[in-house]
Amino acid sequence: MAEKIKKMKKKKGVEQLKSRYGRLFVLPWEIGLVLFFIVPLVTSIIYSFSNVILGNGGVTTEWVGLRWYDFIINSDPKYLDQVKDAVANFLVQLPIIVALSLILAIILNQKFAGRMMARAIFFLPVIIATGVILELLTSEYIDVSLVTSSAESSGAGNYGSSMIDFDAILGNLGLPEDITKIIGDYIGSIFNLLWNCGIQIVLFIAGLQTIPDQLYEVSKVEGASKWEEFWYITIPMLGNSILLVMVYTMIDIFTQKTGVMKSAFELMDEKLVYDRSSAMLWFYFIIVAAIMSLVLAIYHRFCLKKWN
Amino acid sequence: MKITKNKLTSRAAKEAAFKFVTGIIRWAFLLSISYILLYPMIYMISSAFRDAQDFVDPTVVWVPKNFSVNNFVIAFKALDYLKTFWNTFRMEIISAFIEIVMCSITAYGLARFDFKEKKLLMGMLIVTILVPTQMIMLPLMVNMHYLDIFGILGFIGEKIGTELRPNLLNTAWAFYVPSIFAVGLKAGLFTYMYVQFFKGLPKELEEAASIDGAGPVKTFLTIVVPSSGTIFLTVTIFSIIWHWNDVYLSGLFLSRDYPLSVQLSRIFTILNSGIDGVKYGSYSRSTVGIVMAACLLVILPMLIMYCILQKQFIKSIDRVGIVG
């Protein structure tokens, strides 16, 4: 009995020691989190409930309650439409980006001649699309043939659809106009969304590499088809990678410089209005957070749990 | 006997045909996508090497008639390349490396140890990824101007009558300090990537090390880091590229000594105000060539880095066998 208690005590001591080490590892980040994230974040929430006046001596705030929220919802003609557009955009883009980058990652992960070349090319969007360069390329001063008129629909390059005229091809099929338009939008957006796939492809390739070859060998012996291999080995084993890619993609889509984000930043950067723009961003982010947690909860409940 | 042999050869032929067809489909698919992805690159190269008169010549489509490197010479001067390159290295690349190290340490703490507030911290990590820097821009700038730890320095400074809070704006420390605390540019995402990877590592190795008497720090350095080559390389590439391309934070914290990306975003202004007494006009056709040459000059180091690391990258990915 006494021995048992001693053992338990010892175990508890080890666990305490372990948790202490864990806190030690996390400590620098905790300090930074408070200093450079939580404090500024709370300040920005306060801004959204106040009048912000920029003076020489710094920033002064004056509490006005929900006035700015009331203003953007009831008086701003564009705001709610922009939020709706962002949500609709998200529902279209998320599945396309995840599926497209998964397919491309699987292809690029196979062994074939010239795969190094192909991988190098597919990484280009990461270098170009994250910088000013894409902004310069798609700016109105540079060659117009690079950009089509639908420049509003996506943050990234839009020139893809100008190279091949899909609308004309679809128009000749004689389908109802609504359907043609939806299909056309999807195809057009695939071209644009290729630009947002670079990082996801790399993440998926890294994930694919961690699947042990033995699993595929066993399934081959068992006589599984490639299709079954894909659904019963590749996808479940990629569970965590898909989660990572989904989180990254959702954030990427919601923080694209279009719609709400664009108008809020214009208010901040050009007119130095911080109170109303803070309210705009906060309302938007509450909605975004709700949608994201819903998607992640569904994924967790119906996919991850089933696969484990 | 004869029948089975026939069957076998026909199956082999079927398989070969299948391989051939999928090979062709794959190539067609990849080629068409490569074209889309390479288009802006080709466009940039094509216009950067053009002479001014080639831009008004309708017969010039891709290959310039009057090949010239003049655009690069002007772009080099407009970017003040050597100086801005050094600025980028001094501020962005060093803080990228600090971030790579600090994020991995944080992530190991979150992935392998259990303590009460861990769930809350993981939630906060997701929030840091989600919130774009722009949302906390103004408070962050004030923070950088009067850096303080929970008001202590300000309090003491007020008592003795001097300003103790350092102003980090316009110094490289505005980039180093957040990186040291693992909250720099995209740090949340890097930490999250590390956490996911560390969780996938087999625990047995670390347990064996701890039975042999190695402490957590030693285990981390001698067991975890050497077997995490893939994720370190992935994060390194991303971190360097994002820091290199960052316009927003460096535009916010600096009002002089810009890094390359910010200088590139000001290129129209610079060309319009003139170099060596010549104004290039902001929107004329021939300035496109100069701007494209400037773009190429800015991404060139990244392309070179990627070409070097790419081989390492694939090799290290292929070598990781223990994960899973």
How does pLDDT run across A162-180, given as a tens digit for each residue? Answer: 445 555 666 666 667 777 7
Is A158 strand, coil or helix?
A: coil
Kindly report the CATH class assigned to A74-307. Answer: mainly alpha
Contact at CB, B182 and A163, closer than 8 angstroms: no
Closest CA to B294 of B269, B261, B272: B261
B278: β partners: B275
Contact at CB, B136 and A37, closer than 8 angstroms: yes
A242 touches A208 (CB < 8 A):
no
Tell me the domain boundaries of chain B. Answer: 80-265
Least CB-CB distance to B140: which of A26, A36, A126?
A: A36
Q: What is the pLDDT of residues B216-248, one digit of tens each?
A: 888 899 888 988 887 898 889 889 989 998 888
* Complex confidence, ipTM: 0.81
d(CA B240, CA B311): 17
Q: What is the pLDDT of residues B81-127, one digit of tens each?
A: 999 999 999 999 999 999 999 999 999 999 988 888 889 999 899 88
End-to-end CA distance of chain B: 44
Confidence of residue A160 (pLDDT cuts 50, 70, 90): very low
Mutation for testing the B interface, residue in A20, A26, A41 having most B CBs under 10 Å: A26
Q: What is the pLDDT of residue A11?
A: 57
- Residue spans of beta strands (DSSP E) within chain B: none
d(CA A301, CA A217): 30
Q: What is the pLDDT of residue B85?
A: 95
Task: List CB contacts (< 8 A) between A293 and chain B.
Answer: none
Mutation for testing the B interface, residue in A12, A16, A25 having most B CBs under 10 Å: A25
> For tokens 């117009």, what's the residue?
A144
User: What is the percentage of chain A residues whose pLDDT exceeds 70?
Assistant: 77
Q: If you measure CA to CA, which chain A residue comes closest to B298?
A: A133
Least CB-CB distance to A19: which of B115, B247, B288?
A: B115
Task: List CB contacts (< 8 A) between A262 and chain B.
Answer: none
Mean of the per-residue pLDDT values for chain A? 78
Contact at CB, B139 and A44, closer than 8 angstroms: yes
Strand duo A50-55 + A58-63: pairing: antiparallel
Of residues B324 and B311, more confidently modeled = B311
d(CA A4, CA A10): 10
Q: What is the pLDDT of residue A307?
A: 79
Residues 6+ apart with CB under 8 A from B23: A112
Closest CA to A82 of A254, A300, A222, A271: A254
Q: What is the pLDDT of residue B314?
A: 61
Confidence of residue A57 (pLDDT cuts 50, 70, 90): low
Question: Mean of the pLDDT values across residues A228-251?
Answer: 87
Of residues A137 and A277, more confidently modeled = A277
60-89 in chain A: CB under 8 A from chain B: none
Q: What is the pLDDT of residues A190-214, one digit of tens each?
A: 667 787 788 888 888 878 877 888 8
Output the pTM of the full model. 0.80
Task: List CB contacts (< 8 A) between A124 and chain B.
Answer: 37-38, 41
Confidence of residue A300 (pLDDT cuts 50, 70, 90): confident
d(CA B163, CA B298): 39
How would CATH label the architecture of B80-265? Answer: Orthogonal Bundle (1.10)
Question: Mean of the pLDDT values across residues A128-136?
Answer: 72
Distance set, CA A164 to CA A100, A137, A154, A187 (Å): 20, 19, 18, 11
Least CB-CB distance to B241: which of A122, A127, A157?
A: A127
CB pairs under 8 A between A and B: 250
